A and B are shown apart, each in its own frame.
Chain A
Amino acid sequence: MNSSLIREFEDSLGTASVLYRPEDLLLYEYDGSVEKGRPDLVVFPTTREQVSHIAKLAAKHHLPIVGWGAGAGLSGGALARTGGVMLVFARMNCILELDVANQRAVVQPGVVNYELTCAAEPHGLYFAPDPSSWKSCTIGGNVAENAGGPHTLAYGVTTNHVTALELVLPDGEIVRVGSKQGDAPGYDLTGLFVGSEGTLALVTEITVKLARKPEALKTLLAVFDTVDDGAETVVDITVRAITPSACEMLDGWTLRAVEDYIHAGFPMDSAAVLLIEVEGLTETVGAQAAAIIEACNAHHAREVRVARDNAERELLWKGRKNAFGALGRLAPSNYVLDGVIPRSKLRQALRRIQKVGEQYGFQIGNIFHAGDGNLHPIVLFDPRDKKQFERALQAAAEIIRYCVEVGGALTGEHGIGMEKSELMPLLFSDADFDLMRRVHDAFNPDSSLNPGKIFPLSRGCGEIRVHSQSSTAPLRP
């Protein structure tokens, strides 16, 4: 990027708020996915006015812009696919208001998910969406991706908890949508913008609902000798009309890797465990836990353990939430999928994943949100081995195709980003893309905002490519 352009940004933001040296940009070219994309300039706005100003400057110079929270995303959503200006929201990290009486918080996009829960906790409240990366990911990123997490089974994903947004459009205009209460009249613009992966507007302020902490909570660990039994238990719990707040599954191979690293207390010789949580009134929790134990036993659970105290509960959850980190010890890189299937198809899906793994020569682990059918098969591979990497992507695409075949979706919570854009035609027709494109263009007419995301680049080629071009670029270390 030429120096006069850099100076223009520095003049309006200060030199401490602009990065442009290659060694600095390097840190912003990857996220949690297997994708890459390097921005030409990274800026750190502190106010909505600065965000608006940056948008205007970028528009003047025809530069793409992309928002960045913590880079914890798993689909390349925040990567600068075509270069340009990256807006990092790290310095817009204030909780502007905690309205305890009405259970609302107003936050800037750079507030870390977990920090909001910490701030609300003394009032008996918390922010319900809890992605595994909750200790680093930002609420702005959660909004862009419509993030989920284990406890969304009972409480819903990010969009169910956002009532209003302040937006900066690509031309720099500042607009507010929604309302603090949540029932704003007219079209549900808030619902459209949440999960739009930063392709329609930049978000500079977010109003969220805060949930009340339950008075009672029980965490159960059910241990199974076969994956089938674990899967059937999940289906049975759903059929029995029990709604746990979380219902997570770890298969045997994954839990052994996790146990080696975290020592959460998962039995090393089991084929699968379910980590199930129930919350609510003391009376409700007791009855639900009993019903869940009954369901587990009906499907030959070897053991159902109830966490005795908070320490044991936190250890079990540490095992779940840090699992991806544990797997990082086994291979140079891993590819986490995010397909969704109807919950009634869980057993078949896990068998299919196993078969695909055998076919392509990978051990594919499963650690996922079983209760809402959101699979996270993990393919371990060495990115330095190009052929192996290609095979990993092919295996992944085959699993995703299977999800679609049985009535599912490409992604449950990670987003399409640049990772899955080429798979979109598996679900959507030309007419669907046409309308999505018209809606996109109504807000982002020049595609200057987060270009190259969601929509397939290869559309019209008549063939679905498995991965985008940049996927073959060297991966992160």
Chain B
Amino acid sequence: MMNGSSSLAARLESALGPTQMVSDAAICANYAVDEMIPSAVAKPSSPEEIAELVRFAAREKLAVIPSGARTKLRIGMTPARYDIALDMSALNKIVHYDPGDLTLGVDAGTPIAKLNATLFEHQQFLPLLVPWYSLTTIGGTIASGIDSPLRQFYGTARDFLIGAEFVDGTGKLCKSGGRVVKNVTGHDLHKLLIGSLGTLAVIARLNFRTFPAPLVGSRGFVASFPNAEGALALRRAVAQSSLTPLTFDIVGPALAQIFASRTPATPETGVFADENRNTNPSSLQPVGDWFRPHEWQLCAAFAGTPEVLDRYARDLRRLATESCAASVAFLDEATRPAVWGRLRETLSLLLEFSPDATVFKISVLPSQYGALFASLRQIADQAGLPHALVARGGGTIYFTLLPGSANDETTRRVAQAATQIFQLISAADGDATLVFAPPALKASADIRGSSRSDIALMRKLKSAFDPQDILVPGRFT
């Protein structure tokens, strides 16, 4: 299928006019996806240029993969073909921002950190506290479907993405939704873009509702437990209380150890308004000695007036004591980022720790946590694989196998453990997917484990959006 790269670049250049185009092999290598290298890199500077490029690709049946900061291109199955990399970084403007309406429209290639810096000027923000925060673009965040600890309070992108403009597989610039916070005009096609990995359309612009940033200052709470049961008891107690923390995560002992011993390589920029005073990217402070590696930790963030902060402190301390916590720590604005920066960067930290890390995203009901934590640990131990776990309050677990080295033997063991994990979660009526995995593993396993009954509907949707299968072909099998 691959055309000769020089002729492709020449044809692209003559067909596309002003769009910036590169076919230099060294540059193309920077856009590799699972070791596949494109023949050309195009850098459109307007939605119309994207549309023109996709029309060209559709005519020539060339495979296109859009990317932003290229931090999450490994997510999904290895693409079947890859001809043109679509670098979205030149599309990086805030198109409209109405602070009085709390709505925002932004180009897909805009870095989230830049976008939030603008919102912070009006004490607002977009609650997407995602890994690779200081690098990642808003388009990549939406296309990858990656979540954030803030989902506990604010929900996921599907709860605040209110519209989008995108180029479908036929090269037409389309839109869905709008700019207002409440809208049922037409089909909600923009929701389909979330987690679509670029397979349905090239995202050009995204509209969001924004949120007031916690103004008075946010606090952190960390309770440590010698076993998972204590952390789970506290999770239950808080879930049944009137408290509504902003983040609410259980960190397993192995991940706590990584938090205590490592600092993310990604430069740090503040996330909440109070942290953003420091605009120079720097490194996270180490976690304090109150963070107890080798133990289970429950981490919750909360914000409000002094009375509200007092209430949280009082209730959380009481509930933690009733759940037999070994220690309790409250963190202020200065000390909190050490833990929450790492919580946000969990996935980037794990992949820095072990480039062959295999990360599962598991969705189950929280009441199943206890039994599943034990079974997951058992599967990993039997395979002789180090592992790490973080479980969000609402039923999302990131479980990671961390093989020390990559060879056929470890790949075989990881594959075997993956099969068992898929079976375990399927039996629990949940869903498990491989978010990050070495290409060798992806070659032998379906990232979704067993096929769901709605896969046929998803294939129909893919054909409706991209009839020629030129947008990241093969990401969804």
Contacts and interface: CB of A to CB of B under 8 A. Distances in A.
A428 B186 contact: yes
B152 to A, nearest CB: 13
A241 B182 contact: no
B180 A409 contact: yes
A438 B467 CA distance: 10
A171 to B, nearest CB: 12
A440 B187 contact: yes
B186 A412 contact: no
Contacts of B448: 185-186
Tier of interface size on chain A:
35 or more
Interface in B115-174: 123-124, 147, 155-156, 158-159, 168, 172-174
Interface string B186-219: 1111011011100010000000000010010000
A372 to B, nearest CB: 5
Interface string A170-208: 000001110111111111110110111000000000000
A408 B184 CA distance: 11
B304 A175 contact: no
A243 B188 CA distance: 25
Contacts of B244: 280-281
A182 to B, nearest CB: 7
A408 B178 contact: yes
Contact of A443 (B102, B184, B196, B460): B460
A239 B365 CA distance: 37
Contact of A239 (B99, B147, B192): B99
B40 to A, nearest CB: 26
Contact of B182 (A194, A243, A413, A435): A413
A409 B461 contact: no
Most buried by A among B155, B174, B240, B455: B174
Contact of A187 (B174, B196, B243): B196
Interface stretch (A44-52, A336-344, A356-364): A336-344
A186 B182 contact: no
Interface stretch (A27-35, A145-153, A260-268, A457-465): A145-153
A91 interface: no
Contact of B101 (A188, A191, A373, A434): A373
Interface in A146-166: 146, 148, 152, 156-157, 159-160
A424 interface: yes
Contacts of A409: 178, 180, 182-183, 185
Given A183-B396, A238-B101, A407-B180, A442 B363 contact: no
Most buried by B among A188, A194, A345, A412: A188
A399 to B, nearest CB: 15
Nearest to B101: A342
B181 interface: yes
A439 B452 contact: no
A416 B454 contact: no
Contacts of B172: 431, 434-435
A407 B179 CA distance: 7
Contacts of A286: 307
A248 B323 CA distance: 42
B281 interface: no
Interface of B: 96, 98-103, 123-124, 147, 155-156, 158-159, 168, 172-176, 178-189, 191-192, 194-196, 200, 212, 215, 236, 240, 242-244, 304-305, 307-308, 310-311, 361, 363-367, 394-396, 429-431, 433, 448, 452-458, 460-461, 463-465, 476
19 contacts: A145-B184, A160-B159, A179-B430, A184-B452, A185-B361, A187-B200, A188-B194, A192-B187, A238-B100, A283-B307, A342-B179, A373-B180, A373-B182, A411-B183, A412-B182, A427-B185, A431-B173, A432-B176, A442-B461
Ranked 5 nearest A-B pairs via Cβ: A241-B212, A344-B100, A191-B191, A183-B363, A342-B101
Interface of A: 99, 101-102, 104, 145-146, 148, 152, 156-157, 159-160, 175-177, 179-189, 191-192, 194-196, 212, 214-215, 235, 238-239, 241, 243, 280-284, 286-287, 340-345, 369, 372-374, 407-416, 424, 427-429, 431-432, 434-436, 438-443, 454
